[in-house]
Amino acid sequence: MAADRDEFEYLAILVHRGHLERVDAEALFPRVQAGEALDELLEQELGWDPRVVKKMRRTRGGETPEIPGYAILGKLGTGGTADVFKAREAKTSRVMALKVLKAECALQPATRQAFIAEARFLERLSHSGLVRCFGVARSGTTFFSRLELVDGKTLLEELDGGRSFSEEEALNIVLEVSQTLSYLESQDIVHRDIKPGNIMLSRSGAVKLIDLGFAAESDSETDATDSTVGTVAYLSPEQARGGAAADSRSDIYSLGVTLFHIVVGRLPFESSDDRETLRMQVMESLSSPELKSRGISPHLHYFIEKMMAKEAEHRYQSFEELAEDIREQVVGRESLDFESQVRRKGRRRP
């Protein structure tokens, strides 16, 4: 009896996650294709311990972690160094998110230390716009942090799903994020990785800022490595040059790129070459026909232009200043929006 496709996929997972050498997988492949049981082959031909074979099967080669005291309910997402799972804590029955450091990353001391530091960093912060952290722990060789579960999607997931954001929606999101970043600013913390993939919208409408993996104290030095890890398209010119001190005005620039992205539907500076993107951010002026269209208000155009000014001193100088400006604009728009007032009055009726 020939094996089904799931067995070949599982064999590939074992190789991909480093549990099985490619040469061994290639030797087993024709026998699995002929219908022999893969688990038996791992035991008999490669000498795997039956307990290991069973664990690999239960966890799909370690894709799903086994952590005592937690029932894994499903996978929520994956990143460069960690996977996030929905889990129920047995002791309290509380459902939360477990951010689990990938096994290969746990072997790297610097990455492991950064993962632990991020969790401890987040644990001491308290703001409604941040995902709460309930601590970091270790089970055997597995490192994980316990996080508040946010039922929703990131802005990037929404954009990838084809969603478009109205000017009103975009401004309200940026206002919420600005208020959260103003709190971080009061704690002398710069996020340094503001982008749609790090902003979540819950089903209830809450806006949450996630992933403080690159966060740093104000004025701390960065290097070129810090400024080119997965966030090239959202970097400020000073970050793109490399070696700039951490500054909230860089976060303001990145939030401006995010605002542009969710309103226009594309990035302001794009290239298949990261180095070219960095050059464009430093050298080229912001130019977009969409910003000059009748669908974009002069106020929104102004916000984006000021947030994305090439020179930091020409941007908003604090998130409090930015939030106040946007708040006045949002309130002003609502006071002139008759339909919005009717909707609000309708909701207040018994």
193 is catalytic: yes
Q: Please tell me the distance from the alpha carbon of residue 190 to that of residue 210, in angstroms, as a whole number.
A: 13
Instruction: Determine phi and psi for 154, rounding to 5 degrees.
Output: -75, 160
Give the amino acid at 17.
R
| Cβ atoms within 10 Å of 285's Cβ, excluding its own | 8
Residue from 193, 211, 247, 325 carrying the catalytic annotation: 193
Strand partners, 145: 99, 136
Sheet order of strands, 142-147 included:
70-78, 82-89, 95-101, 142-147, 133-139
Is 98:84 a contact under the CB 8 Å cutoff?
Answer: yes
DSSP string, 248-278: HHHHHHHHHHHHHHHHHSS-SS--SSHHHHH
Is 170:262 a contact under the CB 8 Å cutoff?
Answer: yes
Residues serving a catalytic function are 193
